[in-house]
Amino acid sequence: MNEVKKIVKAELKKQSVNFAFGNIISKYKRESIVFLDSNSEVGYIGYTFVSSKYADYNSLFGIFLSCRFGLEMSGTTELTKIIEKLKLSFPPMAKLPQCYFGFTSLYFSPLKFYNNGTISFYENDDIVNKCIELTQNVNDIFIPYIYNFINVTPALTNDILGYPYNYGYPLTCILIQCILNHNYSDIPYLVKLAREKKMYDSTSNKINEIIEKLNRYFGTNIDC
């Protein structure tokens, strides 16, 4: 098993793609794709190895994914930098302790990502092809969510509406996206949707604070 695991780790590193999202670049280290801004880590998506007890029957071991853009990171993305400067009086959502954006494939699988979010490896597997398939699935399924978060694209709003629990400040992120992309007319409707979905930061008191601090930060006059 240890020999197979060693081969898998080597192949995942070999198949890893280096991404460049504006000022943010990626590099592969410690079984993770690490995202960096001027050599400061802003987040990562990593491969977590688990014993066969937590993988499919008769497998050697399994791998699931974990992603984190946390408050403890030494660097910031455009979005996390703005949230930091807002100095909101409430912490990120409790389901994501001290985290702006994060998930594991165990509970977040927008498309089919293996059985229960874990890929299992067996003794007779074609390791090279299986690792190629795994890295391609990571690139196709999960990297777009990271891209939208780092670049604060308009598509970030739909990502958050679909999976608000992946975000420490879901409505705050949506509102910042609207301001940065000049989608002001969408704000009242999106706030209404956030309330309906009972997003963490969509209570009246929190919305009032967010709007007030965003207007002060951006020099805008948005209302909802």
How far is it, in rounded angstroms, from Cα 134 to Cα 16?
Answer: 10
CA distance to 68, 72, 212, per residue, from 63 (Å): 17, 25, 44
pLDDT of residue 110: 64
Query: Nearest-CA neighbor of 79 among 137, 35, 111, 141?
Result: 35
Q: Map out the domains of the chain as residue ranges.
A: 2-218
pLDDT tens digit at each of 224 positions of the chain: 688 999 999 999 999 888 989 889 999 999 999 999 999 999 999 999 999 998 888 999 999 999 999 999 999 999 999 999 999 999 999 888 899 999 999 988 766 788 889 999 999 999 999 999 999 999 999 999 999 999 999 999 999 999 999 999 999 999 999 999 999 999 999 999 999 999 999 999 999 999 999 999 999 999 87
Question: The whole model's pTM is what?
Answer: 0.94
How far is it, in rounded angstroms, from Cα 27 to Cα 44?
Answer: 10
Residue with the two structure tokens 């993305």: 77
Q: Which amino acid is at 123?
A: E
How far is it, in rounded angstroms, from Cα 22 to Cα 81?
Answer: 15
pLDDT of residue 1: 67
| HEC-encoded secondary structure of 101-160 | EEEECCCCCCCCCCECCEEEECCCCCHHHHHHHHHHHHHHHHHHHHHHHHHCCCHHHHHH
How far is it, in rounded angstroms, from Cα 98 to Cα 71?
Answer: 5
